[in-house]
């Protein structure tokens, strides 16, 4: 069957840095340097295009050259140089991304398998790179390399800076067969993968992608992680609060067919009164917008956090009220995934099972095994939901 549908096979949510020392490269800086970034695709393909963001920039982003190649190993900057191909915009190998804008490169023939590690290498000129102008994703959970000068075609980069953020890149699309689509996972740090091992691709969305690609009936679905740590559904965060950025990070994702929503715990943690009605109202808004755009949306129950500073009788009451709504037939969700029950301790439903708790021992985030279990649980439910459509 001819491939005619653009589907995002990798993507990330863009924001500005929250910690200058940890998230903005210095010595060397991004300007006049070579930037090599790795991504792991979910769905494979033969044709691709890349979306680059300068949406927070106050000046243009100058890209003097940009290539894509297959990465040899996530822990190393080494690429397979025989696979290097140049990306272009309107046929030009050098171009500018205007301030406040996103651009999408020309389509490029480039064959890659599902779950392939790719390297995107840019030689930058002038580049917005301050706390307020740098368009990035602050927690990539994998290595990014920055070196001075032009080293776009070098097999490996050395003598520079290694970071764990994505800069400017925000989406890779591939042409897919009709019926293919993207599953967008919208959330906070539990979706973004806080506490996972760097370069292990251990977020729940990584496991979801692996499960889908192992299933011959589901491998036409990609996974796009649109989590941002330390953000709320609505109570704080401005433009990157989940309910607001969903217009960009869900509705505008190429090929989106499904949304998995796991968000609300940070709103609860910041609450000084019962905000369950507000959270439910925001859920209903998301459901309405998704349905209006032909997207099915599945709600995940908010996982337990007793033993964390978020816990109080008020906050637990909000969590239970919200979860009861998610599980109710009147919610409007196209289905629900009861992650709260899946990860709860057998002895206390208000506490996460210790075997899933993060290396931080914070009783809020998952460890690598916990994220894997969540990813498998989400897959099993989606498989059931989606099979009923056919």
pLDDT average, residue stretch 320-348:
98
Q: 23 to each of 93, 138, 166, 249, how far by Cα in Å? A: 28, 6, 9, 22
Residue 254 per-residue DSSP state: T
How far apart CA 249 and CA 229 sit, in angstroms, is 14
Residues 305 and 239 in one domain: yes
Please, how many CA atoms are within 13 Å of residue 48, restricted to the half-sphere of its CB? 27
Q: Are residues 344 and 299 in contact, defined by beta-carbon separation less than 8 angstroms? A: no
Say if residue 279 is in the same domain as residue 238: yes
Report the C-alpha gap between 74 and 92 in whole angstroms: 29
pLDDT confidence of residue 146 = 98
User: How confident is the model over 212-233, as pLDDT tens digits?
Assistant: 999 999 999 999 999 999 999 9
Number of domains in the chain: 2
Phi, psi of 265 (to 5 degrees): -65, -35
Both 58 and 91 in a single domain?
yes
282 neighbors 290 (Cβ within 8 angstroms): no
Say whether both 199 and 282 belong to one domain: yes
17 and 63 fall within a common domain: yes
Global confidence as pTM: 0.98
ω into residue 367 within 30 of 0, thus cis? Answer: no
Q: What is d(CA 240, CA 60) in angstroms, rounded to the nearest whole number? A: 22
Position 390 scores a pLDDT of: 65
Domain boundary (137, 172, 207) is at 172
The confidence score (pLDDT) of residue 1 equals 86
Give me the mean pLDDT over the 259-279 stretch.
Answer: 98
Specify whether the CB–CB gap between 256 and 250 falls below 8 A: yes
Using CA atoms, how far residue 324 sits from 6, 13, 278, 337, in Å, is: 37, 29, 14, 12
Q: What pLDDT, in 10s, does the model give residues 41-64?
A: 999 999 999 999 999 999 999 999
């Amino acid at each position: 069957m001819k491939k005619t549908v653009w589907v995002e096979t990798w993507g990330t949510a863009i924001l500005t840095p929250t910690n200058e020392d940890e998230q903005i490269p210095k010595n060397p800086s991004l300007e006049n340097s070579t930037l090599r970034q790795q991504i792991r695709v979910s769905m494979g393909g033969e044709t691709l295009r890349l979306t680059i963001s300068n949406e927070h920039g106050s000046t243009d982003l100058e890209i003097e050259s940009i290539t894509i190649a297959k990465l040899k190993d996530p822990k190393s900057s080494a690429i397979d140089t025989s696979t290097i191909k140049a990306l272009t915009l309107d046929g030009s190998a050098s171009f500018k991304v205007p301030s406040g804008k996103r651009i999408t490169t020309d389509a490029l023939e480039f064959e890659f398998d599902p779950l392939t590690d790719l390297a995107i290498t840019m030689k930058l000129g002038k580049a917005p790179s301050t706390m307020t102008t740098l368009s990035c994703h602050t927690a990539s959970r994998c290595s990014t390399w920055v070196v001075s000068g032009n080293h776009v075609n070098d097999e490996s980069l050395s003598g520079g800076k290694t970071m764990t953020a994505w800069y400017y890149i925000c989406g890779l699309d591939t042409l897919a067969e009709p019926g293919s689509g993207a599953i967008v996972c919208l959330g906070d740090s539990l979706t973004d993968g806080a506490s996972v091992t760097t370069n292990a691709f251990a977020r729940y969305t990584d496991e979801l992608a692996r499960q889908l690609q192992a299933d011959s009936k589901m491998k036409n679905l990609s996974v796009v992680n649109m989590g941002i740590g330390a953000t709320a559904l609505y109570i704080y965060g401005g433009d990157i609060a989940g309910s607001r950025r969903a217009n960009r990070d869900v509705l505008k994702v190429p090929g989106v067919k499904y949304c998995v929503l796991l968000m609300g715990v940070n709103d609860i943690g910041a609450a000084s009164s019962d905000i369950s009605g507000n959270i439910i109202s925001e859920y209903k808004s998301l459901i309405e917008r998704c349905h209006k755009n032909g997207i099915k949306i599945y709600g995940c129950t908010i996982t337990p956090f007793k033993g964390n500073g978020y816990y109080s009788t008020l906050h637990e009451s909000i969590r239970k009220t919200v979860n009861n709504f998610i599980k109710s037939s009147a919610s409007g969700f196209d289905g629900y995934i009861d992650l709260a029950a899946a990860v709860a301790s057998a002895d206390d439903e208000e506490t996460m099972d210790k075997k899933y708790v993060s290396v931080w021992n914070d009783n809020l985030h998952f460890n690598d095994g916990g994220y894997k279990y969540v990813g498998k649980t989400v897959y099993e439910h989606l498989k059931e939901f989606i099979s009923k459509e056919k």
